[in-house]
Structures are given as C-alpha cells and as structure tokens.
C-alpha cells in the first residue's frame, strides 16, 4: 500500500531592491543630476535626494524638478524619462553596492531551503542587469520589475505573481523592503513584512507597522523565522 507523503512547500523570501538589497542612490541621483544639468538646473546632493527615490524614475524626475522649482508638462516628463532610462542603464553600477551582510543573509536563507526572489518597481531589465553586475542575480528564482506584469507595487498582485513565478506559495512567504510601498504591498497581500530602516523612505519605517524591523542583515534570518507562518498540519 502506497504511503501518501504530503508535499512540503519551500518557504520564500521576497526582496525589494533599491534601498533594501543595494544602496542605489548614488547612481540614481547621478542620472537625475545629468538631466537637471542639461536643463540648466543645479544638481542635488545625494543626501537631499535620497528620500525622493522609491516610487520609480518618473517620480524621481518629477520630485527633482519640483525641488528645483521648475514645472514639467506630462509630454516633457515622458521625454526626460526616456533619457533617464538610457543613461541610467549605461551607468547602473558605478557607485551602487550591496548593503553589508546581504551576501551572508542570502546564503543562510538558501541553506535553510528558502527560495529567493526580487519584487521591485525598477524596470525588469535594469533589475536583472544590476543584480548580475553585483554578482547575485543567479541566486534569485524570479526577478520581477515594474513592467513584468500588468500590476506593480503597491498592488499585491505584483508580489503574489512574483512568488508564483519563483515557484513559491504566498502562505509560506515573507517580504523584505525599506518603504511604505513594500510594507503596504505585503499587508495588502496578507504576507508578513520585515523592514530595513536604512533605505529610501519619507517616514520612519517603524511608523508604517511592518511585522519586524531589522537594523542589519545579520538579523534577517532570525527575523524571518519569527514572522514566518508555521506549516499547516
């Protein structure tokens, strides 16, 4: 008589990219400053522009021009967005670096049987290129950007479809991010969230009520275990 062995669903950890896995501010603001300079506007220091990041390149351009006191028409914003994407794609990993402890944290999760995935509002092509240049692209079962699906964060379907593409299950998932967008996406999907406080956010992440906040990636594994739902019997 055959014994029915239940299928064990592998847990999955889904990461945001900008401000979570990698500090991308230098290259994003660097490209913004190229655009500002060609328009005769003063460049912005990274320290001032960091909190403008997180909602995509269009929003970054718009916020940069607002800070400079110049309005943009929708059509001209579209044109500048195209220029931004080309320049950024060619200079995507000049100053960008993984945050301390990321490599070790990914390795520990992999050793524990976790599937790894990325769910970012960066364009998929740029997300793939950047993680490959950082030497970690091969570690993620799915790398899904703003244009991968018809939906993007904070729509929860961006997260749940990323999990599906990676071969995971939302019931065994956790989201790691740095901003309101990531936390709200996870909350809307009914998935626990862990936030890092060193990324790009206009308010302290603790005020956004993620399940846990970690200050360094060496705390991630314990945090994931703490928020991960137990397997149903």
Distance CA 104, CA 96 (A): 18
CA-wise closest residue to 194 among 19, 14, 50, 56: 14
The backbone torsions φ and ψ at residue 5, rounded to the nearest 5 degrees and listed phi first, read -95, 120
Beta carbons of 167 and 10 less than 8 angstroms apart: yes
Structure tokens at 151: 């939906």
pLDDT tens, residue order, the chain (233 aa): 444 434 467 999 999 999 999 999 999 999 999 999 999 999 999 988 888 887 788 999 999 999 999 999 999 999 999 999 999 999 999 999 999 999 999 999 999 999 999 999 999 999 999 999 999 999 999 999 999 999 999 999 999 999 999 999 999 999 999 999 999 999 999 999 999 999 998 889 999 999 999 999 999 999 999 998 765 43
Q: What pLDDT score was predicted for residue 53? A: 87
The hierarchical CATH code for the domain 12-23+96-227 is 3.40.50.1000
- Sheet of 115-119: strand order equals 142-144, 115-119, 12-15, 173-177, 193-195, 212-213
According to DSSP, residue 158 is labeled: H
Where are the domain boundaries for CATH 1.10.150.240 in the chain?
25-90
Distance CA 7, CA 94 (A): 44
CA-wise closest residue to 162 among 178, 182, 136: 182
Q: What pLDDT score was predicted for residue 233? A: 39
Q: What pTM did the predictor assign?
A: 0.92
Burial, 198: exposed, middle or buried (Cβ in 10 Å; 0-12, 13-18, 19+)? Answer: middle
- Strands 193-195 and 173-177 come out as parallel
Q: Which residues are catalytic?
A: 16
Q: What pLDDT score was predicted for residue 6? A: 42
CA-wise closest residue to 120 among 91, 153, 142, 95: 153
According to DSSP, residue 170 is labeled: G
Where are the domain boundaries for CATH 3.40.50.1000 in the chain?
12-23+96-227
* CATH classification number, 25-90, choose in 1.10.150.240, 3.90.380.10, 1.10.630.10, 3.40.50.300: 1.10.150.240
Other CB atoms closer than 10 Å to residue 107's CB: what's the count?
12
Q: What pLDDT score was predicted for residue 229? A: 73
Question: What's the chain's Rg over C-alpha atoms?
Answer: 18
Structure tokens at 13: 């950890």
């Amino acid at each position: 008589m055959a014994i029915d062995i239940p299928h064990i669903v592998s847990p999955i950890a889904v990461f945001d990219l900008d401000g979570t896995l990698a500090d991308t501010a230098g290259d994003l603001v660097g490209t913004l400053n190229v655009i500002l300079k060609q328009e005769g506007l003063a460049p912005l220091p990274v320290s001032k522009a960091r909190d403008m990041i997180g909602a995509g390149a269009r929003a970054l351009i718009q916020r940069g021009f607002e800070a400079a006191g110049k309005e943009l028409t929708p059509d001209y914003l579209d044109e500048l967005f195209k220029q931004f994407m080309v320049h950024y794609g060619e200079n995507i990993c000049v100053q960008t670096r993984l945050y301390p402890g990321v490599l070790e944290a990914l390795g520990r999760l992999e050793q524990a049987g976790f599937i790894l995935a990325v769910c970012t509002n960066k364009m998929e092509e740029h997300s793939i290129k950047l993680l490959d240049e950082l030497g970690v692209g091969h570690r993620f079962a799915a790398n899904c950007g703003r244009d991968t699906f018809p939906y993007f964060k904070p729509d929860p379907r961006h997260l749940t479809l990323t999990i599906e593409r990676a071969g995971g299950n939302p019931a065994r998932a956790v989201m790691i991010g740095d901003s309101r967008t990531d936390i709200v996406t996870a909350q809307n999907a009914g998935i626990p969230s862990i936030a890092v406080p060193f990324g790009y956010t206009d308010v302290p992440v603790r005020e956004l009520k993620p399940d846990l906040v970690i200050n360094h990636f060496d705390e991630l594994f314990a945090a994931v275990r703490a928020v991960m739902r137990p397997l149903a019997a």
